[in-house]
Structure 1
Amino acid sequence: MEKLRKKVGIILLSLTMLLAIYPQSYALASTKSYRASSTSNNNYPIVMVHGLLGWGNTELFGLNYWGGFSSLRDYLTNEGYTVYTPTVGSITSNWDRACELYAYLKGGTVDYGEAHSKKYGHERYGRTYPGVYKSLGEAASDGSINKVHLIGHSMGGQTIRLMTQLLEQGSEDEIAATPSGNISELFKGGHSWVSSVTTLCTPNDGSPTANKLSEILPNVQQFVASLGAQAGIVDSSNPCFDYRLDQWGLRKEKGESFKDYTQKVNSSNLWNKTKDFSLWDLTPEGSKAFNSWVSAQKDVYYFSLACQDTHEDSSTKYQVPDANMNPLFLSSSKYIGSCVTNNDG
């Protein structure tokens, strides 16, 4: 089992790295230079949020999620833009990731919400961040409000949509469950702090692959969660890849023995079939539930960029992979291409 976990871990990380390196390196190499201008309508910071099994910038042996062996963040910074590439939970739910993104920007301790944390059985508070953009939402010198442009890749697109929803509309459940003096600003609503939301290759209506995996591997949630937690046995002071499962009690503390850490992992609520998890959010059913309350805000510009590396097969009329597709994506591509209105064939 241990060998199997290591093999699966290598495959998952390889998939993520390849997805990060090839498309984005190509985009970086082919992008024209558009230097930020002082005459533009705004100079709001750009916040780029990674997807499933992703990372912020160079945590993984110096490899850039945004750009691969080159840094898209550095490229844009050199062109005069302010760019942030936060690291949020790699396999956790969009709700938890949105709360972490908010704390990363504004600073302070992550608050997952009184109602939410009780409902799903994890800690209410997470890590503490210094805040890279503490003036977010405050008045600028010209009287305008400091805002951000949000860009999300894959699952990151759902995450930024959710944070925008919470900022603007708040959470009735959190307001009802939390004393007024103890609630995060994220849940209060009324905050028009986002200028634009751009989703890149985001499964906004879910992925048939996630649904199929749930049918084939009923315990896939527990397996992936265990994989991430077990990877945390790397020295927590300098992990090469951090799954950020602190709210589930899965952070390896300094001096903690492997035996004690393993017992903590095995007794966690994450082993239950929770819907507070990435895999549920990415299924068509989970995304339908997500879209039922996460909507487009009237004062925010929305952009969605899709990608396609398939073509129609003349005999089956299914979408099949193009010749240049990375071999690691062939199986999932063929399955997705054979789906019609979320049904096989």
Structure 2
Amino acid sequence: MPRLPLGIFGLTELFLSSTVHLLFGFYIFSAAVAWDLSQALTAFFRPSKADAAVIPVDESEENQSARAALDGSIPPIVLVHGIFGFGKGKLGGLSYFAGAEKKDDHVLVPDLGSLTSIHDRARELFYYLKGGQVDYGEEHSKVYGHSQYGRIYEQGHYPFWDEHHPLHFVGHSAGAQVIRVLQQMLADKAFKGYEDTSEEWILSVTSLSGALNGTTRTNLDGMQPEHWMLMKPISLLQICRVGVIIYDWMNISWLKNYYNFGFDHFEMEWRKTGISGLIDLVLGNIGPFATGDWILPDLTIQGSAKLNCNLRTFPNTYYFSYATKMTKKFMGVTIPSSIFGIHPMLLIRVLQMSQWKHPADVPLPYKGYRDEDWEDNDGALNTISMTHPRVPLEHPSHLVLDDSECRPMRPGIWYYKIIEADHIFFIINRERGGVKFDLLYDDIFQRCRKHAFRITSPPLFPDHISS
């Protein structure tokens, strides 16, 4: 009987969380459809003369922008979305980065798998830029049971990309870790047919609410603390898992043109698996959720620590991180810093994450872990995770209180700011971000253009700087 109230509370919280997430997803999807319909109706009823006057101007601007981004004269800035995100061309006319890409004429916004693993997304990002067919790697594909090859890019979005034409990368949430894995793959020459890759292909990395060290939210959503690659039987992630499987199995083309979770290389559609395949997928016998080759295991603290063991901070690359936080101390207790300033989808999680306690009977996720260090959060990630890579080993870092502290910037150091905002404050909804939105992205783009540039030889500095 003592377990009954806890069970009822847990189920009630699960129902509320599922409902809020479902409504938010429906809102985003319906907004995209409504935008597309309005554009179609406008085009249909627009007088033919107006069409003739307007269309050439739009095409001219698009072509000029495309040529500018591909001519190799100015390093493009690549915006990499996070979990459940999308790139240019998906969800109608919506922008994951809320239109921030319009602040510069040389910006690329790739569409990567929204729930695929960090490894798979890094591979997709490489071929999006260079062109060709995505190669997930022979060994990796065999281990995780999916096709070695994926989408074909007839034309790379930046085929000039090499050591002499490096790129700036900005990653939100899990997108930041995707960039780091990509840079390590470049350093390791991990792309077949490209023996000349190196870490020098990346000029700067900007992490915006980046998942650099994992998050305790994965445990609240359903990942098991004791078995970080497995889910609890009843959880928000289980509901998500079943929904994604059905969505991919049905394989409705117009829906997937709007939004794709990115699991096409697992070949889960009904034509290839049939009813028996759907049953196996739902039961967890096959597919990405059975093998662990999807994003959530990578976002656990343990999964991030495993990734970070092989990821370096390179001495000739510039790094900057914005860590977000929506908590404060009140009488020694960490609580949400605002009720109305936090998105409804994140409010409950801000409170839960601030009170999270690692189970006493489960080994700690890393040596030196303390619950109190992970209390501050933005509703999706813990603030400690977003500052710089620190699990299992601390990387060179410097807390920025005033911009003059990083003028000039030195490569090989993670400069970071802590700002008051929730996890989605700077994406999706431009109006919600307000003036802070413009200030942040202006800061990011100006740094890429004026303060992060390649030097012939990296300056000498201590191997370890931390503050």
TM range (shorter): 0.7 to 0.9
Contact 2:137 2:148 in 1 (8 A): yes
Report which of the two has the higher share of helix: 2
Contact 1:91 1:225 in 2 (8 A): no
Q: In the alignment, is residue 203 of structure 1 matched against residue 211 of structure 2?
A: yes
Contact 1:245 1:251 in 2 (8 A): no
Q: 1:12-51 counterparts in 2 under 5 A?
A: 13=25, 43-51=74-82
Q: Pick from 135, 139, 145: which aligns with 1:111? A: 135
Q: Pick from 279, 287, 293: which aligns with 2:304? A: 287
Q: Pick from 306, 326, 336: which aligns with 2:353? A: 336
Taking the aligned partners of 2:277 and 2:95, their CA distance within structure 1 comes to 30
Q: CA deviation at 1:261?
A: 8.2
Taking the aligned partners of 1:274 and 1:58, their CA distance within structure 2 comes to 30
Q: CA deviation at 1:12?
A: 6.2
Over 3 Å counting, the alpha-carbon distance change for 1:333 and 1:290 in structure 2 is same
Q: Pick from 93, 105, 128: which aligns with 1:62? A: 93
SS at match of 2:321: strand
| Amino acid in structure 2 at the alignment position of 1:57 | K
Q: In the alignment, is residue 157 of structure 1 matched against residue 167 of structure 2?
A: no
Q: CA deviation at 1:62?
A: 2.2
| Amino acid in structure 2 at the alignment position of 1:241 | Y
- The match for 1:10 is 22
- The match for 1:214 is 223
- The match for 1:24 is none
Q: Deviations over 1:130-184 (max 9, x none)?
A: 211111117xxxxxx011101100000000111011101235xx8xxxxxxxx25
Contact 2:214 2:303 in 1 (8 A): yes
Where does the alignment leave 5 or more consecutive residues of structure 2 unmatched? 1-14, 30-72, 226-230, 358-368, 376-467
- The match for 2:261 is 243
Contact 1:111 1:124 in 2 (8 A): yes
Over 3 Å counting, the alpha-carbon distance change for 1:16 and 1:54 in structure 2 is farther
Taking the aligned partners of 2:370 and 2:119, their CA distance within structure 1 comes to 25
Q: CA deviation at 1:275?
A: 3.0
Over 3 Å counting, the alpha-carbon distance change for 1:184 and 1:122 in structure 2 is farther
| Amino acid in structure 2 at the alignment position of 1:123 | S
- The match for 2:157 is 132
Taking the aligned partners of 1:105 and 1:85, their CA distance within structure 2 comes to 10
Contact 2:144 2:288 in 1 (8 A): no
Taking the aligned partners of 1:160 and 1:72, their CA distance within structure 2 comes to 19
- The match for 1:228 is 244
- The match for 1:75 is 103
Taking the aligned partners of 2:288 and 2:273, their CA distance within structure 1 comes to 21
Taking the aligned partners of 2:171 and 2:27, their CA distance within structure 1 comes to 18
Taking the aligned partners of 1:309 and 1:287, their CA distance within structure 2 comes to 23
SS at match of 1:330: helix
SS at match of 1:307: strand
Contact 1:16 1:53 in 2 (8 A): no
Q: Pick from 96, 99, 116: which aligns with 2:123? A: 99
Over 3 Å counting, the alpha-carbon distance change for 1:251 and 1:100 in structure 2 is farther
SS at match of 1:290: helix
Q: In the alignment, is residue 192 of structure 1 matched against residue 220 of structure 2?
A: no
Q: CA deviation at 1:8?
A: 7.7
- The match for 1:167 is 186
| Amino acid in structure 1 at the alignment position of 2:80 | V
Taking the aligned partners of 1:184 and 1:224, their CA distance within structure 2 comes to 37
Taking the aligned partners of 2:338 and 2:19, their CA distance within structure 1 comes to 27
- The match for 1:142 is none
- The match for 1:21 is none
Give the CA RMSD over aligned residues.
3.3
Q: CA deviation at 1:226?
A: 3.3
Contact 1:16 1:54 in 2 (8 A): no
**Larger Rg over CA atoms:** 2
Q: In the alignment, is residue 320 of structure 1 matched against residue 345 of structure 2?
A: no
Q: CA deviation at 1:73?
A: 1.4
SS at match of 1:86: coil
Q: CA deviation at 1:235?
A: 2.9
Over 3 Å counting, the alpha-carbon distance change for 1:155 and 1:191 in structure 2 is closer
Contact 1:122 1:269 in 2 (8 A): no
- The match for 2:59 is none
- The match for 1:299 is 316
SS at match of 1:318: strand
Contact 1:13 1:53 in 2 (8 A): no
Q: CA deviation at 1:83?
A: 0.5
Taking the aligned partners of 1:261 and 1:59, their CA distance within structure 2 comes to 28
Taking the aligned partners of 2:263 and 2:174, their CA distance within structure 1 comes to 17
Q: In the alignment, is residue 86 of structure 1 matched against residue 89 of structure 2?
A: no
Q: Deviations over 1:103-124 (max 9, x none)?
A: 1000011101011111111111
Q: 1:255-294 counterparts in 2 under 5 A?
A: 262=278, 269-270=286-287, 273-294=290-311
Contact 2:162 2:201 in 1 (8 A): yes
| Amino acid in structure 1 at the alignment position of 2:143 | K
Over 3 Å counting, the alpha-carbon distance change for 1:306 and 1:50 in structure 2 is same
- The match for 1:26 is none
Over 3 Å counting, the alpha-carbon distance change for 1:117 and 1:271 in structure 2 is closer
Taking the aligned partners of 1:101 and 1:160, their CA distance within structure 2 comes to 9
Where does the alignment leave 5 or more consecutive residues of structure 1 unmatched? 18-41, 139-144, 175-182
